[in-house]
Structures are given as C-alpha cells and as structure tokens.
C-alpha cells in the first residue's frame, strides 16, 4: 500500500471570524486498486492524521471483507 497523492487546500472560514479551514485529500494505491480519503479541520495536522487513518482503515476493512467471502 502506498500514498500516491497528498493535497492540502486552504478554505475561507465563516464571514464572522478570521479562522480558515484546511481540506486534506490523500490518494492511496495497493497496485490493484486505488482510493481517496478526505478530512477537514482548522488544524492541518489533525486533518492529515484523520485522512491517513481513514485510508488505512478502509484498506483493512476491504481485506477483512474479502477474507469473509
């Protein structure tokens, strides 16, 4: 399993404040298939960790599903 693409986009916060948000998109591949996860937060590290964990959890869930069939 490999991380193919890591992309961070900064978006504007609400009009009442100055806070902005980041959206992290991560594309993974295992050589046979690919999948993308995303996370949004006001903290780039938190968004990155969430998207990364979601990608690994997805892969593990697909492995488990295939083993049950």
Reported as a single tens digit per residue, the pLDDT across 50-67 is 999 999 999 999 999 999
The residue whose two tokens read 């690994």 is: 56
Give the pLDDT confidence score for residue 11 in this predicted structure.
87
Give the distance, in angstroms, between the CA of residue 60 and the centroid of all CA atoms in the same chain: 15
Fold of 2-68: Double Stranded RNA Binding Domain (3.30.160)
Average pLDDT on 31-43 reads 95
Examine the pLDDT at 17 and tell me if it is beyond 80. no
- pTM: predicted TM-score of the whole model, two decimal places: 0.85
Average pLDDT on 18-30 reads 92
Based on C-alpha coordinates, what's the Rg of the chain? Answer: 15
Q: Where are the chain's structural domains?
A: 2-68
Give the pLDDT confidence score for residue 14 in this predicted structure.
66
Q: Residue 32's pLDDT band (boundaries 50, 70, 90)?
A: very high
Angle at 35 between CA 30 and CA 41, to 5 degrees: 125
């Amino acid at each position: 399993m490999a991380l193919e693409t890591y992309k961070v986009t900064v978006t504007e916060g609400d009009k009442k404040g100055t806070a902005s948000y980041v959206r992290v998109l991560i594309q993974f591949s295992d050589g046979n298939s690919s999948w993308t996860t995303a996370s949004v937060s006001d903290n780039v590290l938190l968004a990155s960790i969430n998207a990364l964990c979601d990608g690994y959890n997805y892969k593990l869930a697909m492995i488990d599903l295939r083993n049950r069939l």
